[in-house]
């Protein structure tokens, strides 16, 4: 949520910054509500001061056994007005909050200005694209060849976009998840979380999924719970309505979850197999950090996510997202894209973002210095990593001419001695 103080100070500059996200904003209604609210607060404060003064006078008159009826009657009028003002302020707060919840986060000034993904900036790449002396098979062919991925039966069970892993495919998926969790907890300093896979509307609102993305999520209406689109939601909400000790920052969590998303993209080649699914698995990285160290911690988080691909020996690149491609809640985002030989393109497998204090204000996630006031912390998150596109890259990049698939050494301890699928 945008800081109302920042909005008051320079609404035109803030509007111009947000509009680089391709979103037209009008702060007039919010500022009118804010001005009226501040007027009422000032009036209420003055009336309360008067009430306190007169209450003392009434006590003195009563102590002196003098008539205080007139002052008591006047205070009844004052008290009624204060009650009416408090009710109006509450209504204004609700209306202002609703309007603020619909305003996206402002991009960081360093974010490249652009309209869409074509304006994203390649920051760097790692490794080399694999070369083959034979016609490469795509992940669907390889999955079918070895009977390790079964999309037709997954569709029979739940509809399109719900993969079914079998045999060594299921083992490989589990190996990836365990490998990533072990890496992030043992070497990168994250504390492991196993979160709920459903979340309340309040939790979804805190992280920015609601109200904007309600149509993209699965909703269990009877229970008023949403299936999570990412573990970012439950893990970030661990500290909703809490105050952290500044000395404990950064607080770093990682956790596995299944992720559920109704929006699976447009029809065509890009929705084949694992390229887009309604359900996928992901290990998420979440940090609560001091604002002074937010971008330093984001760089570390990004490197932690990249390390997964380096250990797996997969070629990838890092993109800095332009303003027009940033999410609703993000101030800065880096995407990590892994190479698919069959698709001959890069596939996103991680987004690492700073939300600055946007989520913290929505969810009252704060920190406190010794002797200071509670302040919103900064929140960061990133996929560390999502497995669906990772499976695509692993199967395709490590395929052999006979159709077998070598497994990278990092996964050998997690595969029970299996080093190759097929062959």
CA distances from 278 to 212, 328, 389 (A): 19, 20, 13
DSSP state, residue 330: -
Is 348 considered catalytic here? yes
Q: Which residue from 48, 34, 37, 42 is spatially nearest to 87, judged by alpha carbons? A: 37
CA distances from 66 to 60, 61, 71, 163, 397 (A): 9, 5, 11, 84, 94
Do residues 191 and 253 lie in contact, with contact meaning Cβ atoms separated by under 8 Å?
yes
Contacts of 111 (CB under 8 A, 6+ apart): 20, 320, 321, 322, 323, 326, 331, 332
Please tell me which residue in 257, 330, 340, 351 is annotated as part of the active site. Answer: 351
Please tell me which residue in 141, 192, 307, 348 is annotated as part of the active site. Answer: 348
Our CA angle for 378, 227, 225, nearest 5°, is: 90
Largest CA distance in the chain: 107
Cα 158 → chain centroid: 27
Residue with tokens 């060849």: 145
Do residues 268 and 347 lie in contact, with contact meaning Cβ atoms separated by under 8 Å?
no
Q: Give the pair of three-digit tokens for residue 43.
A: 């009036």
Please tell me which residue in 203, 350, 389, 396 is annotated as part of the active site. Answer: 389
How long, in residues, is the chain? 423
Please tell me which residue in 37, 261, 361, 362 is annotated as part of the active site. Answer: 261
Is 272 considered catalytic here? no
Please tell me which residue in 276, 311, 317, 320 is annotated as part of the active site. Answer: 276
CB neighbour burial string for 174-186, b if at least 16 within 10 angstroms, e if fewer: bbbbebbbebbee
State the DSSP H helix or E strand holding residue 310, giving kind and residue range, or none if neither. Answer: helix 294-312
Is 38 considered catalytic here? no
Partnered with residue 335 across adjacent β-strands are: 319, 351
Omega of the bond leading into 385 within 30 degrees of 0 (cis)? yes
Rounded to whole angstroms, how far apart are CA atoms 334 and 326? 9
Do residues 318 and 334 lie in contact, with contact meaning Cβ atoms separated by under 8 Å?
yes
Catalytic positions, written as ranges: 261, 276, 348, 351, 389
């Amino acid at each position: 949520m945008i800081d109302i103080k920042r909005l008051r100070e320079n609404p035109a500059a803030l509007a111009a910054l947000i509009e680089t996200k391709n979103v037209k904003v009008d702060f007039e209604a919010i500022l009118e509500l804010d001005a009226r609210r501040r007027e009422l607060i000032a009036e209420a404060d003055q009336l309360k001061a008067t009430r306190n003064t007169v209450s003392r006078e009434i006590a003195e008159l009563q102590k002196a056994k003098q008539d205080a009826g007139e002052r008591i009657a006047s205070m009844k009028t004052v008290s009624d007005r204060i009650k009416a003002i408090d009710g109006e302020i509450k209504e204004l707060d609700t209306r202002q909050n609703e309007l603020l919840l619909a305003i996206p986060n402002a991009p960081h000034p360093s974010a490249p200005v652009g309209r869409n993904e074509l304006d994203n900036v390649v920051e760097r790449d790692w490794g080399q694209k694999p070369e083959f002396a034979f016609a490469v098979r795509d992940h669907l062919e390889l999955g079918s060849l070895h009977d390790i991925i079964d999309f037709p039966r997954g569709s029979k069970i739940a509809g399109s976009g719900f993969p079914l892993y079998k045999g060594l495919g299921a083992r490989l998926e589990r190996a990836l998840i365990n490998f990533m969790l072990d890496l992030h907890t043992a070497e990168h300093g994250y504390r492991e979380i196993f979160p709920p896979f459903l979340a309340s509307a309040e939790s979804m609102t805190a992280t920015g999924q609601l109200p904007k993305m309600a149509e993209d999520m699965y909703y269990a209406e009877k229970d008023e719970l949403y299936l999570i689109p990412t573990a970012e939601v439950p893990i970030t909400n661990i500290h909703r309505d809490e105050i952290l000790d500044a000395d404990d920052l950064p607080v770093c969590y990682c956790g596995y979850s299944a992720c559920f998303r109704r929006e699976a993209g447009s029809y065509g080649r890009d929705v084949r197999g694992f390229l887009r699914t309604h359900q996928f698995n992901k290990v998420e990285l979440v940090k609560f950090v001091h604002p002074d160290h937010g971008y330093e911690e984001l760089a570390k988080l990004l490197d932690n996510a990249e390390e997964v691909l380096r250990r797996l020996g997969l070629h990838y690149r890092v993109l800095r997202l332009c303003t027009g491609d940033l999410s609703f809640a993000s101030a800065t985002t880096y995407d990590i894209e892994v190479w698919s030989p069959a698709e001959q393109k890069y596939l996103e497998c991680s987004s690492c973002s700073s939300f600055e204090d946007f989520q913290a204000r929505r969810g009252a996630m704060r920190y406190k210095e010794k002797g200071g006031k509670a302040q919103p912390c900064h929140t960061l998150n990133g996929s560390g990593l999502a497995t669906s596109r990772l499976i695509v890259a692993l199967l395709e990049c490590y395929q052999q001419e006979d159709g077998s698939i070598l497994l990278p050494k990092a996964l050998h301890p997690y595969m029970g001695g299996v080093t190759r699928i097929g062959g």
